[in-house]
Structure 1
Amino acid sequence: MNVHTLRVAALCMAGHVTAAAAHAQTDYFNTDAGRPIRTEDAYAIERRAIELQVAPLRLERARGGAYRWGVEPEIAIGLLPRTQVEIGFPVEHTEGPRGTRTTALAGLEMSALYNFNHETRFPALAVVADLLIPAGPAGPDRYVPSFKAIATKTFPWARFHVNGQISLNRDAVNASVTSANAELSRWTAGVAVDKTLPLKSMLFTAELVASEPMTAGLAQRWDAAGGSRIQLSPRVAFDVGGGYRLRGDEQGWFFTTGAAVAIGFPWAPRR
């Protein structure tokens, strides 16, 4: 990893810590997969809203010293009440032995989230259908569909989230494939807790995630991560996070950062 990359990461973290508080905005409260952690909450974006995730980056360094980063620009649309659809374009960069480097599109990812209910005495529940489509030199060699179940429960002092995802394609796929969020897995299970500071429009979160790699013969993975998300303006939210692979192949640290810009349908009726 060169000095320039380290400086960019440091500037991102410094800007996040010193940013001024925004007022009366809640996008920072709606956590998404990979922003800044993999475990997400059970809520969709507002109806008729469009969210552009312009710079979601995940940088990894394995114990052997190899670096890998992925960036996945996404568009999320609140198409119906409690429903959002997303399309992402994951791009992967890897550094191999003897200075070899590869940057390529790693598929086309489409997903839809539906929130069943708001919280009462019971948690908010949601389901996500996801499809990774073969596209690009680093993409999978076949379609990879998966389903995720999400539960969110809020207490006066913290929120808790539980995610469970399973892939319907149990066969091994292209081992080089990864998205900006994480490597492909046969199954993934994660639990997260977050704490909000409403007066500062800021959220802090931490998670523990277990997963089984799609590639046969690789060890089960355990990742611990944490991060923060802040509302910089009425339409812009910024996040930064990091973690460490506690168990599994390619143990090492990872760093995430991203930003989202919220807009509305141009034809949405005025209230």
Structure 2
Amino acid sequence: MTRPFRFGVVAPLMTEVATWRDQARRIADNGYSTLLVPDFPLTQPAPAAMLATVAALTELRVGTWVYASPLRPAWSTAWEAHSLSVLTEGRFEMGIGVGRPGIEDELRDKGQPEVPGPGARLAGIRETVDRLRELDGPDRYTPVAMAVSGPKARALAAEVADTVTLALGDQPRAEVARLAREFRTEAGPELALAVPVVGDVVAPYMASPATDAAAWRAADAMTVLPDDPAAAIEEIQRRREEIGFSYFVFGAVAADRFAPVVAALAGR
């Protein structure tokens, strides 16, 4: 099954609030489907407040990219996600993962001396999704996007997620295609590709500022796209045909430049 294209933007609040709101409106006007916010506590307002604001301003879908599950109890994340689903009238997508590199130090800095291991983190994601389904009940369904890396995380995502994004860096095309292959079934989840590097620009909160864009490009990494919209369109179509990616997520720094990409491909 070939899924239609859709496009999302990770839009952290790094400016004056009014400027960020204007950016959200442009993202909507340019045809993107989803505005997403990262989960970096204390560096910006809380995700729920930001997403509720965007949903009130626009008709965009909104989502977390992604909740770091070790940072909060499962019941709290599920409650927040369900609340956003209700308040946005079904336009919220809960993105969740086991946490970014370095999350162990962040947890200790925030007063959590016992850091859960990988198995416990995956169990936390399962519990969060189970509690979300209980809160949603029979009359509501909150989509779940899961960021995954290892085989156990991929197996859980195949079971509970509607959208899967592979946690990628400089892995080359052939390796990414191999990892994505297990999800390419008729009933499989939507495959999302986060693209933090466009040309030589690295999107904040999507990859380390120390990312070597030239090295990733030389490795044929799937986390990089050319900054020319026409070339990007061709490459995005290739990635859907060869690997199965249909949902592409860019940083806000590329959103205006890639408006022609969205105009050409969204929904097709």
For the criterion TM > 0.5, the same-fold answer is: no
More strand by share: 1
What is the TM-score when the length of structure 1 is the normalising length?
0.31
